[in-house]
Amino acid sequence: MTAKSKRQLTVGWREWALLRGLNCPEPVKVKIDTGAATSALHAAHIHRFVQDDQDWVRFTIRPHQRTSDGSVRVEALLIDERRVRSSDGNSELRPVIETEITIGNHTWPIEVTLTRRPTMGYRMLLGRQALRNRAIVDVSRSFTTGKPARLGKSRS
């Protein structure tokens, strides 16, 4: 193991994350997807708008599968739009935002595309660009960092 890898976060093929930059209080189950370049977040009711001559996007995060419990409506600066080809071969133009993600005790900025993923098992896919120089993936493990407390709550 190199000195650099000792300092990096080790993640399993799935992890719990907090989306601090979006003030989503609930932890989100994230699938680590090294086959995807970009990260994707399930978002409902995506609406673009202009505020102070800048493009923004308003959307709802539903952190839990099969329920709207914990849903939060958020706004973020639209930094780009990208054409993304999903695993089923379909291509769509997606809004891109920047936010902070926390896994374990590591927090860093990432770019995320917004898309509807209502039938997918994970609310978020974390792609290679978000992991580069930040984490090492151990595919034999999952939930290596444990489930974090809700934002604003301490672990008991």
> What confidence tens digit (pLDDT) does each residue in 115-152 have?
987 667 788 999 999 999 999 999 999 999 888 877 66
Number of domains in the chain: 1
Strand partners, 97: 112
- Residue 146 maps to a domain: no
Closest CA to 64 of 27, 11, 115, 23: 27
Strand partners, 51: 54
Sign of CA dihedral 13, 64, 114, 61: negative
Q: Is 35 contained in some domain?
A: no
Q: Residue 143 domain-assigned?
A: no
Range of the domain at 88: 3-24+40-124+133-137
114, part of any domain: yes
| Predicted model pTM | 0.84
User: Does the residue 70 lie in any domain?
Assistant: yes
Residue 30 lies in a domain: no
Alpha helices, H only, the chain: 3-7, 128-131
Residue 82 in any domain: the answer is yes
Residue 109, domain CATH: 2.40.70.10
Q: Evaluate whether residue 72 is within a structural domain.
A: yes
pLDDT in tens, 52-110: 999 999 999 987 776 777 789 999 999 999 988 777 778 889 999 999 999 999 999 99
